């Protein structure tokens, strides 16, 4: 199975054959390293990872020089699996760390402020290791036991942070095998799919002779309810997973209707009202499945006016879903939790553990205000998840699942709400400081100020600002600015020290006024304002070296 | 954030407040253990887990006495999260290992032969630790880089094992950014959902003015194609996730049509032909979305006649999906790969990494014969997964994803196909030995002999066998036998030494002849025939202690 010590660096096929062929080797690979030397190699790396995570990542991961993707791809084209081991265990691990990791991305670097993935507290890796070792499968009690109980408890804890029901409510539901306060899913996309799946089935529930949409399908359901279309409403800044959810669920992704945003990138409530009214008047056979409010848009970190959306949903009896994949943990900060005010009136909420709960990839969660609502998606099987059992797989999109709840539960004990509060406040406060810095520098334009810890900006030289004041050639100038920001972002990424991401702000604008911008996500507590200033300095330098005349027609 | 050394075992709230309130503590928790004592505790447990996994599990996990679920639930009802840390990091970890793990389930025990979760090779935990430390997000290149490239390569390697295309094919597709040989998903359920999602969109593709089912939804799609129903056909032993997939995708789970099984629990091809013909003749507006063949049914480990199903699908132009969540890795065994013959003609295949690839929870995979087929589920966003990019999130059900591919890729190098072959052969060979042992013991009846490494049996005392020969009271006797097997299974589980699962074999039988049986899954290489004999001995003892007269009306 694995190579013995006698195995040479380039072993002959003959020796390999002997090495894998017997049961003894098979047992050995299951149990412990093949030799002391192998053990020492593993000990060395595990020690570095577990007790010096950030030094390890700084030393081993992250490119300082861009290697072309094409070049990299060429190295990984062999599609044969050897009949016998290619390498010894310790060599494979060494190769992974010394040769592969350097071409991964050091998302833990404080200079990596481009995406919603960042540094982890070092103990998260310990917790993940323990979870992997226990290897419980939370689909059913028989392969998880206490973990299912803890999962229900931690779901109730986070439910309480969101919905703030009273003690009696939580005592009734925390360990109730018949009800579901929430579910762990792979990620935010599947959390959004789960929420809309539940909402769809609750809306098109069994009645009279109709057995419900889950059983009979959408076409029959539409006839049973005399409708011809379901729609979901979300602001123009809604995450693409909502579109995907509508596609997967058979509703059709063109039935995700975009609502305009106001100047703060929040859902325009007047437009929402207008759309709702128009749907009622003009298309009586259209039903609104859900309105989705966003608590932390992916591109700008904006938070929709959740209370106002809740009012409208309540008035029309429509499911109110909040996509708080990003912003949910802001509720842990006393200073900023008011920003999400109204979330407690949602029917369902998405939160990602691998984002601002700082958990390792991946941990999505979906929560339900009414713990009976997920009954609409209940399934059973003969050998597991029997009716009436405690098996958590009865009402979830996935089947087999990792025990992510153990990681979150332990972390809540280690950090407390205040621990998370500090992380959240660092991000938002630093984002405000960074916005001030951008405003001070004439080369830049702050395109969206931070509401949470995300902001966007672009390169906008003073000369261009003057020219764009005149509307006659605004679109042409905008196009040039887009090209400049795009170039600077790419060159900075390729230089390999810092990473700020790039997106295109559409807003309610005409296509020719779409703005290409830098997108900065500040969640790493090691990212300070001085690091952010360095990043701006570097962007200024790159811009000045571009040496492309601003009025060049090639831009 | 975390407690300092000065923190007492039951610290006063005041001390806690000081501990969490400053930025310095926040930084410390990110970087390393708070103190030498803390480090030593973590080192101790990590060393036990990483270098003595099986001893660790034997010592720490698994109950020897049943603790009532109600009792356990009562301990986990507090739904408050402390504002400040409840415990020091090292104390939380200690608690997790010393107090919580003992109430988890030791799925790695060689006496745990009840489910498809088993012992892991110890190095799997090392690989999972490395993946957690790197924390790459495979949704996009910018947060994964080389990992996306490796994922494409390992998908091609497994694709090759299944579909056996030639070198030219793999050279063309292995690193092609525009095509998709397969996807990693959370588990087998989501792999099945993904396969049927792709099949649904490919069948109801855009044509003329119709923009496709993904865009316009099922109701419009049915009108565009002049159909009123989609159906999916699978044997009566199909996994419940297929039902769920039909529900989620809007097809309606009652449109999953069960095909009878033959006496070997394989899909009855004559019945399949009859159903297909009847659908064509009687319901011209019904279209068959897919026929699903099973390579290793969950309950009996049977493999459907894949070649014969492929013939029928080919003749009718129907998507052929193979659910090889369990059986897929049998392809790694030269001795047994012929059992899955025909799988290479599938349009899509589900395989689970956390089952017979012995990976930690969880790793589902779906593969496509035609690498252009997944284009039917392509999505884009402004800030990632841009059109034409290499971002793997463009065509996948989930968004953020863990780098499971690194674990599988490394393991294939460490084990080779032969390593997996040995594991597979151990399971199947031992299952055959165990079947012989069951046949030898008069108290038992082998209800389904093993085809792969799963078998079922029940308690069937000689006296009952005689009585059941007369058909007049067969149903009554069957009910009694069901009660006996159910009791023995429960008592053995509660005794806490061994675990064999229980299911109800329905077959094509009338409801009153459904048989409650023991279900034994042999995948742990430490599970030997002598352990299995011990398990039978224990079951015999429990039966004899039951002391219930066989003819008692209480049964």
pLDDT digits (tens, 9 = 90+) for B367-403: 999 999 999 999 988 666 677 678 999 999 999 999 9
Nearest CA in chain B to A96: B410
Q: Which domain holds residue B318?
A: 187-378
Boundary-marking domain end, from A106, A124, A148: A106
Contact A422 B115 (CB under 8 A): no
Which comes out higher in pLDDT, residue A21 or B452?
B452
Return the residue matching tokens 């969880």: B362
Same domain (yes/no): A216, A356: yes
Contact B149 A76 (CB under 8 A): yes
In a domain, A277, yes or no: yes
Task: Among B251, B402, B416, select the one facing A82 at the smallest CB separation.
Answer: B416
B303-337: pLDDT as tens digits = 999 999 999 999 999 999 999 999 999 999 999 99
Minimal CA separation from B48 to chain A, in Å? 10
**Are B295 and B327 contacting, i.e. CB atoms less than 8 angstroms apart?**
yes
**DSSP state, residue A520:** E
The backbone region for B250, taken as left when phi is positive above 0, alpha when psi lies in -120 to 50, beta otherwise, is left
> Long-range contacts of range B538-547, CB-CB < 8 Å, 24 or more positions apart?
B538/B492, B538/B495, B538/B497, B538/B498, B539/B459, B539/B488, B539/B492, B539/B500, B540/B441, B540/B443, B542/B488, B542/B491, B542/B492, B542/B495, B543/B443, B543/B459, B543/B484, B543/B488, B546/B484, B546/B487, B546/B488, B546/B491
Prior bond of A325 cis (ω within 30°)? no
Minimal CA separation from B62 to chain A, in Å? 10
Contact A250 B249 (CB under 8 A): yes
A366-404: pLDDT as tens digits = 999 999 999 999 998 766 667 667 899 999 999 999 999
3-state secondary structure at position B192: helix
Cross-strand partners of A258 = A234
Query: Which range has the worst mean pLDDT, A474-488, B19-33, B461-475?
Result: B19-33
| pLDDT above 70: residue B13 | no
Contact B252 A122 (CB under 8 A): no
Residues of chain B found within 8 Å of residue A228, distances taken between Cβ atoms? 219
What are the two backbone dihedrals, phi and then psi, of residue A317, each rounded to the nearest 5 degrees? Answer: 65, 40
pLDDT of residue B509: 72
In a domain, B6, yes or no: no
| pLDDT above 80: residue B419 | yes
3-state secondary structure at position B404: helix
Q: Which two tokens stand for residue B452?
A: 């792969």
Contact A190 B397 (CB under 8 A): yes
What's the CA gap between A519 and B387, in Å, rounded?
A: 19
B127-178: pLDDT as tens digits = 999 999 999 999 999 999 999 999 999 999 999 999 999 999 999 999 999 9
In a domain, A78, yes or no: yes
Contact B51 A42 (CB under 8 A): yes
Minimal CA separation from B415 to chain A, in Å? 5
Task: Among B104, B133, B249, select the one facing A136 at the smallest CB separation.
Answer: B104
Mean pLDDT along residues A143-167: 97
Q: Which two tokens stand for residue B535?
A: 């398990």
Minimal CA separation from A162 to chain B, in Å? 12
Boundary-marking domain end, from B378, B394, B425: B378
Which comes out higher in pLDDT, residue A395 or B22?
A395
Residues of chain A found within 8 Å of residue B175, distances taken between Cβ atoms? 73-74, 76-77
Same domain (yes/no): B439, B366: no
Which comes out higher in pLDDT, residue B480 or A554?
B480
**Are B324 and B159 contacting, i.e. CB atoms less than 8 angstroms apart?**
no
Same domain (yes/no): B357, B209: yes
**Are A188 and A362 contacting, i.e. CB atoms less than 8 angstroms apart?**
no
Residues 6+ apart with CB under 8 A from B220: A252, B210, B213
Q: Which two tokens stand for residue B356?
A: 């017979």
| pLDDT above 70: residue B548 | no
CA quadruple B329, B330, B333, B338: dihedral sign? negative
Q: What is the number of helices (H) and of strands (E) in chain B?
A: 19, 11
Number of domains in chain B: 3
Contact A137 B150 (CB under 8 A): no
Split at pLDDT 50, 70, 90, the class of B224 is: very high
| pLDDT above 50: residue A11 | no
Residues of chain A found within 8 Å of residue B181, distances taken between Cβ atoms? none
3-state secondary structure at position B401: coil
**Are B179 and B372 contacting, i.e. CB atoms less than 8 angstroms apart?**
yes
Residues of chain A found within 8 Å of residue B503, distances taken between Cβ atoms? 382-383
**Are A141 and A390 contacting, i.e. CB atoms less than 8 angstroms apart?**
yes
Residues of chain A found within 8 Å of residue B250, distances taken between Cβ atoms? 213, 217-218, 249-251
What's the CA gap between B61 and B63, in Å, rounded?
A: 7
In a domain, A287, yes or no: yes
What are the two backbone dihedrals, phi and then psi, of residue B209, each rounded to the nearest 5 degrees? Answer: -85, -5
| pLDDT above 70: residue B550 | no
pLDDT of residue B361: 97
What are the two backbone dihedrals, phi and then psi, of residue A515, each rounded to the nearest 5 degrees? Answer: -110, 125
Return the residue matching tokens 């070649």: B307
**Are A267 and A235 contacting, i.e. CB atoms less than 8 angstroms apart?**
yes
Q: CA nearest B82: which of B92, B74, B72, B73?
A: B92
Residues of chain B found within 8 Å of residue A16, distances taken between Cβ atoms? 416
Query: Which range has the worst mean pLDDT, A296-310, A370-384, B336-350?
Result: A370-384
Minimal CA separation from B316 to chain A, in Å? 24
Mean pLDDT taken over chain A: 91
Contact B241 A134 (CB under 8 A): no
Measured CA distances, B258 to A17, A217, A447, B46 (Å): 45, 17, 57, 48
Q: CA nearest B342: which of B300, B314, B363, B373?
A: B314
Mean pLDDT taken over chain B: 91
Task: Among A39, A122, A188, select the one facing B30 at the smallest CB separation.
Answer: A122
What's the CA gap between A66 and A52, in Å, rounded?
A: 26
Contact B416 A84 (CB under 8 A): yes
Same domain (yes/no): B434, B328: no
**Are B154 and B409 contacting, i.e. CB atoms less than 8 angstroms apart?**
yes
What's the CA gap between B555 and B543, in Å, rounded?
A: 13
| pLDDT above 90: residue B286 | yes
Residues 6+ apart with CB under 8 A from B234: B242, B256, B257, B258, B259, B267, B291, B292, B294, B323
- Best interface-test mutation with A: which of B107, B124, B360, B361 has the largest number of A CBs within 10 A? B361
Contact A218 B61 (CB under 8 A): no
Nearest CA in chain A to B29: A121
B88-101: pLDDT as tens digits = 899 999 999 999 99
The burial class, CB within 10 Å (0-12 / 13-18 / 19+), for B171 is: middle
Contact A379 B243 (CB under 8 A): yes
**DSSP state, residue A359:** P
Q: Which two tokens stand for residue A463?
A: 């000369």
CATH no. for residue B512? 3.90.1150.170
Residues in chain B: 555
ipTM > 0.90 (yes/no):
yes
The secondary structure element, H or E, covering residue A93 is helix A89-95
Same domain (yes/no): A321, A212: yes
Split at pLDDT 50, 70, 90, the class of A325 is: very high
**Are A364 and A182 contacting, i.e. CB atoms less than 8 angstroms apart?**
no
B508-518: pLDDT as tens digits = 777 788 999 99
Minimal CA separation from B139 to chain A, in Å? 11
CATH no. for residue A219? 3.40.640.10
Residues 6+ apart with CB under 8 A from A274: none
Same domain (yes/no): A443, A326: no
What's the CA gap between A330 and A337, in Å, rounded?
A: 6
Helices marked H in B32-166 — which ranges? 36-51, 53-60, 69-74, 89-95, 123-134, 146-163
Same domain (yes/no): A362, A426: no
In a domain, B172, yes or no: no
Same domain (yes/no): A371, A233: yes
Contact A254 B211 (CB under 8 A): yes
What's the CA gap between A545 and A541, in Å, rounded?
A: 6
**Are A191 and A352 contacting, i.e. CB atoms less than 8 angstroms apart?**
yes
Same domain (yes/no): A328, A243: yes
What's the CA gap between A244 and B382, in Å, rounded?
A: 15
Residues of chain A found within 8 Å of residue B382, distances taken between Cβ atoms? 299, 503-504, 506
Boundary-marking domain end, from A79, A106, A133: A106
B525-545: pLDDT as tens digits = 999 999 999 999 999 999 999
3-state secondary structure at position B85: coil
Contact B73 A149 (CB under 8 A): yes
Same domain (yes/no): B290, B351: yes
Same domain (yes/no): B272, B361: yes
Contact B398 A190 (CB under 8 A): yes
Residues 6+ apart with CB under 8 A from B483: B516, B555
**DSSP state, residue B53:** H
Q: Would you tell me how many other CB atoms lie within 10 Å of the CB of residue B515?
A: 20
pLDDT of residue A554: 43
Minimal CA separation from B59 to chain A, in Å? 12
| pLDDT above 90: residue B69 | no
List b or e across B325-352, with b for residues whose CB sees 16 or more CB atoms inside 10 angstroms: bbbbbbbbbeebbebbebbbbbbbbbbb
Same domain (yes/no): B249, B321: yes
Residues of chain A found within 8 Å of residue B351, distances taken between Cβ atoms? none
Minimal CA separation from B554 to chain A, in Å? 23
pLDDT of residue B377: 95
In a domain, A138, yes or no: no
Minimal CA separation from B114 to chain A, in Å? 9
In a domain, B497, yes or no: yes
Q: CA nearest A294: which of A367, A234, A233, A341?
A: A234
Residues of chain B found within 8 Å of residue A419, distances taken between Cβ atoms? 1-2, 20, 26, 29, 85
Which comes out higher in pLDDT, residue A356 or A386?
A356
In a domain, B402, yes or no: no
What's the CA gap between B189 and A197, in Å, rounded?
A: 15
CA quadruple B122, B125, B128, B132: dihedral sign? negative
A427-461: pLDDT as tens digits = 999 999 999 999 999 999 999 999 999 999 999 99
**Are A211 and A359 contacting, i.e. CB atoms less than 8 angstroms apart?**
no
pLDDT of residue B332: 97
pLDDT of residue B64: 46
Q: CA nearest A287: which of A370, A368, A221, A238?
A: A221
What's the CA gap between A81 and A83, in Å, rounded?
A: 6
Contact A361 B132 (CB under 8 A): yes
Mean pLDDT along residues A129-138: 97
Rg (CA), chain B: 26
Nearest CA in chain B to A400: B187
Nearest CA in chain B to A57: B134
| pLDDT above 70: residue A20 | no
């Amino acid at each position: 199975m694995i190579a013995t010590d006698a195995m040479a660096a380039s072993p002959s096929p003959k020796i390999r054959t002997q090495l894998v062929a017997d049961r003894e080797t098979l047992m050995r690979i299951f149990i412990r390293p093949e030799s002391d030397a192998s053990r020492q190699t593993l000990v060395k790396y595990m020690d570095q990872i577990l007790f010096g995570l950030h030094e390890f990542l700084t030393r081993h991961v992250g490119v300082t020089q861009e290697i072309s993707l094409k070049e990299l791809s060429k190295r990984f084209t062999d599609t044969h699996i050897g009949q016998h081991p290619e390498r010894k265990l310790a060599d494979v691990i060494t190769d992974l760390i010394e040769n592969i990791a350097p071409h991964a991305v050091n998302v833990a670097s404080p200079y990596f402020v481009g995406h919603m993935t960042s540094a982890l507290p070092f103990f998260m890796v310990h917790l993940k290791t323990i979870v992997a070792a226990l290897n419980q499968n939370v689909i059913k009690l028989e392969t998880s036991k206490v973990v299912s109980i803890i999962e229900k408890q931690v779901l109730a804890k986070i439910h309480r942070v969101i919905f703030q029901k009273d003690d009696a409510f939580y005592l009734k539901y925390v360990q109730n095998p018949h009800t579901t306060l929430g579910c762990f899913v792979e990620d935010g996309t599947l959390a959004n799919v789960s929420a809309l799946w539940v909402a769809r089935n609750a809306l098109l529930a069994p009645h009279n002779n109709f057995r419900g949409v889950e059983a009979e399908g959408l076409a029959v359901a539409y006839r049973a309810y005399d409708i011809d279309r379901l729609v979901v409403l979300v602001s123009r800044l809604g995450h693409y997973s909502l579109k995907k959810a509508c596609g997967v669920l058979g509703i059709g992704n063109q039935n995700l209707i975009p609502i305009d945003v106001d100047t703060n990138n929040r859902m325009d409530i007047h437009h929402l009202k207008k759309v709702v009214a128009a749907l009622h008047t003009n298309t009586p056979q259209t039903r609104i499945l859900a309105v989705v409010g966003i608590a932390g848009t992916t591109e700008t970190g904006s938070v929709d006016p959740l209370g106002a959306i809740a009012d409208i949903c309540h008035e029309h009896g429509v499911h109110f879903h909040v996509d708080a994949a990003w912003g949910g943990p802001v509720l842990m900060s006393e200073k900023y939790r008011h920003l999400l005010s109204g979330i407690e009136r949602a029917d369902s909420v998405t939160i990602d553990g691998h984002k601002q709960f700082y958990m390792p990839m991946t941990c999505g969660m979906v929560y339900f205000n009414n713990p009976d609502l997920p009954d609409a998606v209940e399934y059973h099987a003969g050998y597991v998840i029997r009716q009436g059992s405690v098996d958590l797989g009865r009402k979830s999109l996935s089947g087999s699942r990792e025990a992510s709840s153990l990681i979150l539960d332990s972390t809540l004990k280690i950090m407390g709400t205040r621990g998370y509060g500090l992380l959240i406040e660092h991000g938002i406060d630093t984002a405000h400081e960074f916005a001030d810095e951008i405003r001070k520098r004439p080369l830049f334009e702050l395109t969206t100020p931070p509401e949470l810890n995300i902001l966007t900006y672009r390169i906008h030289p003073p000369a261009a600002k003057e020219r764009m004041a005149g509307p006659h050639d605004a679109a042409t100038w905008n196009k040039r600015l887009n090209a400049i920001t795009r170039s600077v972002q790419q060159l900075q990424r390729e230089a390999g020290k810092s990473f700020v991401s790039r997106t295109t702000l559409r807003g309610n604008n005409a296509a020719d006024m779409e703005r290409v911008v830098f997108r900065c996500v500040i969640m790493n507590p090691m990212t300070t304002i001085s690091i952010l200033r360095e990043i701006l300095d570097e962007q200024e330098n790159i811009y000045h070296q571009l040496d492309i005349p601003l009025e060049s027609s090639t831009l």
